Structure 1
């Protein structure tokens, strides 16, 4: 969680460093939209603790915490965010389209898009006779999309090894969940598709860990899919530049930051002390600093190669 937050703080700094005067979304080292995941780290950490590089994760347009937790290479991910030729997608995808085949990670800017590909991965794992699982992540707003319901239905029908994860940060851009969704918890929808559904309150990483352990164990055992919804927290805007005037609770958001809350819990239990905390933060800062330097030192894509990687190319051509 500390590594993910350190990474997001660095991207936040680099993104805003040269957007002025005013705020020009197209300017700077990182042009375009930016969706950061500060506050949602417990979901990724609790779920991905049970996964290996053989398992698949399909994330959302707010993907960095899951990419970090699932072991996506930090250097090449950062280079992709900066639009550099050394990036995961050779600088063509940007931060919402990160693909790392080495750990079966992908994400998309399209709402609920990751659910159907997760079924494909799970079906492939089943056909190959492995016990690998697919984790499909989306936000609470996307749970109203057709792809969400179609995917739950098919996963249950075919008994696929999928863990569906809904991150409920209570805001679909600027629309509160209460104004868009008829049920108070999307976990209740799991019963309609014959699978277990569980809601984790209070952004609690240990509770997420326990729920994910049950769901992943069930999937690996061939018992089919599960749904986990986590009430989490979007500490920053939907996108960078979002004034968040629609959030009446904005003044109290910082007090709910899950990192200092969990650190205090670990200190009270005697698990973490000052030295351990400093070491963890120092290691995270070193890794993130290295990734930022790698991205900045990497070349931009050659405009002459603009049509490369659009279609499959034959060997030797």
Structure 2
């Protein structure tokens, strides 16, 4: 099943974005499909509480640009695609479980925010990208890096603070970066990564339209959570991206909780997707616990950006199975709510789809599980045996010109001078 690009383009052209007439009576831009229409017993906005379900019952259906999904096949994916999606999701889940084990064994330190439960979003979007495309993440960034192709051993080593990590041990859990794989970083403060992603998208457009690099049709994904969507950077970048028709997709990972703050208590309108049409770009809400639905929306939004038709805002409603971080006792969320979403595990749902449509056998999936177990055991072994960063790295990447501060007249790093840390505590 796929969106029809021609109809989608025509529907957008019907809305006078560049018209001088007011848009007050225009329909907001969005794309929709039958995939997102739930049966009468469920809500199109899943919601974490009865309050949200009641809100959804009162509201009218979201306006759309008259774009319907055309069914070309009963199957949403091929066998090969299904196995790729399954392997990536299991890798993400198993990696995070291994991180929790290592953290509690004292192998890694600081704040560690795990992604368990949200794998359908990372896999659904990132596995549709090219290597040249860019992603920008948040502090919950391990799985995004893995989906983009950063080797497990490099991510694990970074979490261990080792020199063999993807940032040579200087980034840690919240700052995964890989130039080779176009992972432009995880960002500890919410909203920080959105301007970086917008800038990356601008550079892509500049290369194509100003430098005449015809093959520069790359796309940027900006991942962030529901807690970010009331921040200024979010609105400013939506405006710039729409104004300049940048090749970017804003992906909201709405897990319904910003640390211990319920999404419903933090925003006047919990339907984040509506903020896209307000800026003249498509806004879509999708079930972020279903990788196949996420993938369908990702295809349309990414292809649309690659064609030069501008940005999209996609709200993926998902749920994290663990606390905000490994230091969070997770006592604020209702146990019934957690149990409800545990019953909607995205990996279990994909496995069921693969079995029901005879796209994979139990033996094939068990082989993938075994392969990932071996990969992670090797990653931990590699991280444990890797060296700690040299002390000379201490002042690297702090200033654009380290010689202005970190290097002495003799050309050596000041931190190599035994007196450099004189009078300070050694931990």
Both structures adopt the same fold (TM-score exceeding 0.5): yes
Equivalent positions of 1:185-264 (< 5 A) are 185-201=271-287, 203-248=289-334, 249-264=337-352
1:226 and 1:62 mapped to 2: Cα distance? 22
Q: Give the root-mean-square deviation of aligned CA atoms.
A: 1.4
Deviations 1:252-295 (A, max 9, x none): 44323221222122111111211111111112112222211111
Select the residue among 69, 93, 101 that pairs with 1:5. Answer: 93
Q: TM-score, normalised by structure 2?
A: 0.69
Equivalent positions of 1:97-246 (< 5 A) are 97-105=175-183, 106-129=185-208, 130-201=216-287, 203-246=289-332
- Partner residue of 2:169? 91
Gaps of 5+ in 2: 1-88, 209-215, 404-410, 412-427
- Partner residue of 1:306? 394
- 3-state SS of 1:100 partner: coil
Deviations 1:226-261 (A, max 9, x none): 011111110000010311111112344432322122
Point out the structure with max Rg over C-alpha: 2
Q: Is the 8 A contact 2:120 2:288 kept in 1?
A: no
2:340 and 2:329 mapped to 1: Cα distance? 16
1:75 and 1:241 mapped to 2: Cα distance? 24
Select the residue among 45, 48, 56 that pairs with 2:126. Answer: 48
- 3-state SS of 1:120 partner: helix
Q: Which has the higher contact order (CA 8 A, sep 6+)?
A: 1
- Partner residue of 1:266? 354
The alpha-carbon distance between structure 1 residues 202 and 82, as it changes in their structure 2 partners (threshold 3 A), is closer
2:295 and 2:350 mapped to 1: Cα distance? 14
1:77 and 1:278 mapped to 2: Cα distance? 24
Q: Is the 8 A contact 1:235 1:257 kept in 2?
A: no
Deviations 1:50-90 (A, max 9, x none): 21111110011111221111112322221111101111221
Q: Is the 8 A contact 1:46 1:206 kept in 2?
A: yes
Q: CA deviation at 1:313?
A: 5.6
- Partner residue of 1:35? 113
Gaps of 5+ in 1: 18-27
1:45 and 1:263 mapped to 2: Cα distance? 14
- 3-state SS of 1:211 partner: helix
Q: How many correspondences in the alignment?
A: 305
Deviations 1:128-181 (A, max 9, x none): 221000000000111111111111000001110000000011001011111001
Q: TM-score, normalised by structure 1?
A: 0.93
